[in-house]
Amino acid sequence: MTVAPPGRRILLTGASSGIGRAAALMLRGAGHRLLLPCRDRATAAALAQQLGLDPNQTPVADLADLAAVHQLAAALLEQNEPIDSLVLNAGLQYAGAREPRWSAQGYELTVAVNHLGHQRLLQRLLPLLELSASPRVVITASEVHDPTSPGGRVGPPAGLGDLAGLAAGPGQPMLDGRSPFDADKAYKDSKLATVLLATELSRRLQDRGRDWPVLAWSPGLVIPRGTEGFFRHSRRHNEAGQRLFALLARDLLRLTASPAQAGALLAALATDPDHGNPGFAYWQNRLVRPGLLRLEQTMPSAEARDPDLARRLWELAEAIP
């Protein structure tokens, strides 16, 4: 799998660390034009310096604040330059936390960053994607959205119910409105929401005669060396156990991908003509055997394929002021 020849203008969220940074380095090296929004000015300045970018290529927008997302989108719409690939990759997980954290608008932080901010950015930037000769949307999900997957079977399963929590508005710790707060389930639910976002986007585009490639994908279990990346938001919670898990999964059992390996896949999904087929597709970096993962097109979970749930989720998120 290769990165396509240079020429695409790519907006990639979550480029300051992990998979996103690895993908940005590869895309930068291939000559693609990048926009890499960061959550704060310090992160944006550091990323611009690391990648040798103009600071204008690393604008500031915290996905946990819908007002900040609006401001970023407004600035980009004013520039009126096409976006060829919109890559919604940023992700937050604070595993093990006992209490919920909240976004600027009062929504649980995991779903706010992983889903609500991304949907708002996507909706606002559709006019710039329409200016592209070959628009594409890529959304980083996770296998844990599927309760039948190895990761999805550990702990409470993903499940959005009737979205009563989201419908009730700010201050609800879980999307289903019924489960007690569980940080791991909140992450799983947010990743289920991202797959539903992709399926609903594809449906709405087809209704308008815009059959673009809309790709959701699972990078597999990605654990970097050191403290950055997978556990960076949850180190206060059982750090010793998390480090032991990383040692077992990454070094002994060889079940994981490195950020560089997963980043290469993300860069290819954003640019490779082989991934340019119209319509929705779900790709999974599947463990074939210890030490070998392979990106394969497959089916997301049954709940992720529910068109009524996808439509209701879109409408509820869209209605948030």
Residue ranges covered by each domain of the chain = 9-318
* Mean pLDDT of all residues in 87-109: 96
Highest mean pLDDT among 173-177, 235-239, 259-263: 173-177
Given a contact cutoff of 8 angstroms between Cβ atoms, the answer to whether 124 and 66 are in contact is no
**Residue 246 pairs with which residues in a beta bridge?**
none
Q: Is the pLDDT of residue 255 over 70?
A: no
136 pLDDT higher than 90: yes
Angle made by CA atoms 271, 85, 30, in degrees to the nearest 5: 40
Q: For position 294, what pLDDT does the model report?
A: 87
Percent of the chain, pLDDT > 90? 81
What would the mean pLDDT of 159-183 be, rounded to a whole number? 97
User: Residue for token digits 């997963």?
Assistant: 262
Average pLDDT over the chain, rounded to an integer? 90
- The pLDDT score that the predictor gives to residue 213 is 98
Closest CA to 169 of 105, 122, 93: 105
What's the confidence (pLDDT) of residue 5?
55
* pLDDT tens, position by position, 194-230: 999 999 999 999 999 999 999 999 998 756 655 444 4
Q: Is residue 38's pLDDT more than 50?
A: yes
- Maximum Cα interatomic distance, the chain, rounded to a whole number of Å: 52
Q: What are phi and psi of 18, to 5 degrees?
A: 60, -140
pLDDT at position 96 is 86
- Please report which confidence band the pLDDT of residue 87 belongs to, taking 50, 70 and 90 as the band edges: very high
What does the pLDDT average to over 66-93?
98
pLDDT of residue 230: 45
Read off the pLDDT band of 238 (50, 70, 90): low
Average pLDDT over residues 41-67: 97
Which two three-digit tokens encode residue 81?
């330059």
Q: In the chain, what is the straight-line distance between the N-terminal and C-terminal CA atoms, in Å?
A: 41
CB count, 10 Å around CB of 181? 14
CA distances to 9, 44, 108, 243, 279 from 184, in Å: 34, 28, 13, 17, 30
The answer on pLDDT for 82 being more than 70 is yes
pLDDT in tens, 15-35: 999 999 999 999 999 999 999
Q: Assess if CATH 3.40.50.720 describes domain 9-318.
A: yes
Q: What is the mean pLDDT of residues 265-294?
A: 89
What integer pLDDT is reported at residue 101 of this predicted model?
98
Find out whether 184 and 155 touch, Cβ atoms under 8 Å: yes
Least confident of 148-157, 164-173, 194-203, 299-308: 148-157
Residue 4: what pLDDT?
54
The model's pLDDT over 64-76, given as tens digits with 9 standing for 90+, comes to 999 999 999 999 9
251: pLDDT strictly greater than 80? no
pLDDT of residue 242: 56
pLDDT at 132 over 90: yes
Mean pLDDT of 79-107: 96
* Sheet strands side by side (includes 213-218): 33-35, 9-12, 85-88, 136-140, 213-218, 279-289, 292-298
